[in-house]
Chains A and B, each alone.
Chain A
Amino acid sequence: MRDPLDGLLMNLLQQDFPVCPEPYKVLGEQLGISEQEALERTRRLKENGYIRRLGGVFDSGRLGYVSVLCAAQVAPDDIPAVTEAVNRCIGVTHNYLRQHDYNVWFTVTAESEARRDAIVDELESLPGIQRFMRLPAVARYKIRAVFDMQGVTADE
């Protein structure tokens, strides 16, 4: 079980981990706890599986990378093989099975349009793919995967 202070800490950790020599001192001050306790609570949240990763969150476009969302229609029997091939690509960061005729949705990110398109071309030609579509972004309105943890009952 986690206590309410952990919920507050998780919100702070998600939004803006301090960039300074003593980040846990800053977090501790915001929560009314010691630097050491802020670190220990963070460690426990990581050990107990709440935190997937604590680190830098980058804007791939500004780093010079390009990406595209792809969707494939794959027969149930072919899903394992297609999944394995898609997941093997380092450029694929997200891959989800969804409830729709287009049931496999994944993103491809690469250092250049040529590289990205080459990866997508290869994946599109995988056996088992019945239909395939590319969904390049025209405009971005939001990218902010921050979840309010105050008052949320954890799935434990």
Chain B
Amino acid sequence: MNEMDAVDRAIVRLLQEELPLVLNPYGVLAEQAGVSETEFLERMNALRASGRLRRVGAILHHRKSGYGANALVVWRVPEERMDAVGKAVAEFPQVTHCYFRESSDADWKYNLYSMVHSSDTERCREIVEAIAESVGLSEYAMLFSTQELKKTSMKYFASENV
């Protein structure tokens, strides 16, 4: 990956906020970054090519959008099956995040972590049961969220002076 320079970081700082709701959002942001719209878009393409910028997109409010239930489902997977199972669980469209993690608590036996979203708790359970059956896992726990305490996007390069 190429190094990022100060302009790239300024672009990240601008894009991690809200795109202005105008017909030419990138033109407006380019002005704030002190570059032409063409250069702004070129740098965005470079950020995408390097995978630093995954996409430009809308992040929805789950509940308002009909996805009221979310559960962190943790699974116990034998390590030799982890890659295959992780990928299989990730295939399900209702799974938004899927990670293999280690724990600092020796008594904690779960190692595969998946976020499952659905319209309600019952439907969530049905989906998880289907996943369990499909991948052949019986040791798992559904940790439903009872309250969203904080949800923000990360502010990158916040301490840098422009």
How many angstroms between the C-alpha atoms of A131 and B156 in the bound complex?
Answer: 30
- A-B pairs with beta carbons under 8 A, tally: 246
| Pairwise interchain contact A16-B55, C-beta atoms closer than 8 A | yes
The docked-state distance in angstroms from the alpha carbon of A100 to that of B96 is 21
Residue from B17, B21, B45, B96 in contact with A144 in the complex, judged by beta carbons closer than 8 Å: B96
Residues from chain A with Cβ under 8 Å of B83 in the complex: 139
Partner of A141, one of B25, B98, B103, B158: B98
CB distance from A64 to the nearest CB of B (A): 9
B53 touches A147 (CB 8 A): no
Question: Once bound together, how far apart are the Cα atoms of A92 and B87, in whole Å?
Answer: 27
B19 with A54: CB separation less than 8 A: yes
Which residues of the partner chain B approach A109 to less than 8 Å between Cβ atoms?
A: 154
- Using A62-B1, A136-B102 as known contacts, say yes or no to A35 and B64 having CB atoms under 8 A apart: no
Known: A43-B21, A63-B156, A142-B96. Is A56-B12 also a contact (CB below 8 A)?
A: yes
Question: Of B52, B65, B86, which is within 8 A of A62 by CB?
Answer: B52
Contact of A155 among B66, B90, B104, B154 (CB under 8 A): B66
Chain B residues within 8 Å of A56, by CB: 12, 15-16, 53, 55-56
| Closest chain B residue to A154, Cβ basis | B66
A15-B55, A141-B89 known; A60-B156 Cβ under 8 A: yes
Q: With an 8 A cutoff between CB atoms, is A138 at the interface?
A: yes
Check if B145 sits within 8 Å of A59, measured CB to CB.
Answer: no
A14 touches B99 (CB 8 A): no
Which of the residues B54, B101, B119, B153 comes within 8 Å of A53, measured between beta carbons? Answer: B153
Instruction: Name B23-77 residues within 8 Å CB distance of A.
Output: 23-27, 37, 41, 44-45, 48, 50-68, 72
Q: State whether A147 touches B41 (Cβ < 8 A).
A: no
- Bound-state Cα–Cα, A117 to B141, Å: 27
Q: How far is the CA of A56 from the CA of B15 in the complex (A)?
A: 5
Which chain B residue lies CB-closest to A151? B66
Question: Would A57 and B55 be within 8 Å (CB), given that A93-B154, A141-B89, A152-B66 are in contact?
Answer: yes
B102 lies within 8 A of A10 (CB)? no
For A105, give its contact among B65, B72, B99 (CB under 8 Å).
B72
Q: How far is the CB of A38 from chain B (nearest CB, A)?
A: 9
CA distance A65 to B61 in the complex (A): 25
A140–B98 CB distance below 8 A: yes
Task: Given A17-B55, A69-B113, A135-B103, verify A55-B15 contact (CB < 8 Å).
Answer: yes
> When each residue 5-20 of chain A gets 1 if its CB lies under 8 Å from chain B and 0 otherwise, what string results?
0000010011111111
Distance between Cα atoms of A149 and B58 in the complex (Å): 12
Q: 13 new A-B pairs (CB below 8 Å) besides A135-B101, A141-B100?
A: A15-B57, A53-B59, A56-B12, A59-B52, A69-B113, A83-B149, A93-B151, A97-B149, A134-B104, A142-B96, A144-B97, A152-B65, A155-B63
